[in-house]
């Protein structure tokens, strides 16, 4: 039987664990970045809504703002949701798997 070094084996095991820890650390960083960006997006959307309301209170009509390319973000979201829904309706349904008589 070959001579096995406990220290060398532990070193190799630590190296394997370190690479696994690094990959999960990178995953946590990526997830945190996504969470941070979602929070920033939510804050930016609130600010956008307040600014749109302020513009309408200052005398700009929704039609005028739309002509300037500044349509209400709520209207834009509704259209996006409608398009997404329409795309789902035209999507090819998954093939059904026949049920077996077992069971």
- 17-67 per-position pLDDT tens digit: 999 999 999 999 999 999 999 999 999 999 999 999 999 999 999 999 999
Neighbouring residues of 45: CB distance < 8 A, sequence distance ≥ 6: 73
Helix axes 6-57, 73-90, angle to 10 degrees: 120
Contact 56, 62 (CB under 8 A): yes
pLDDT band per the 50, 70, 90 thresholds, residue 103: very low
Widest CA span of the chain, in angstroms?
89
Reference 48, options 84, 76, 83, 82; nearest CA is: 76
Contacts 24+ apart (CB under 8 A), 16-25: none
Query: Tell me, what's the pLDDT at 33?
Result: 98
Query: Tell me, what's the pLDDT at 87?
Result: 73
């Amino acid at each position: 039987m070959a001579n096995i070094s406990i220290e060398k084996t532990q070193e190799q095991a630590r190296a394997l664990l370190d690479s696994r820890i690094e990959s999960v650390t990178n995953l946590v960083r990526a997830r945190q970045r996504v969470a941070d960006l979602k929070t920033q997006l939510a804050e930016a959307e609130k600010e956008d809504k307040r600014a749109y309301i302020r513009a309408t209170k200052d005398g700009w009509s929704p039609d005028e703002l739309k002509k300037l390319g500044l349509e209400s973000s709520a209207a834009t979201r509704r259209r996006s949701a409608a398009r997404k829904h329409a795309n789902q309706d035209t999507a090819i349904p998954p093939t059904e798997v026949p049920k077996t008589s077992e069971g």
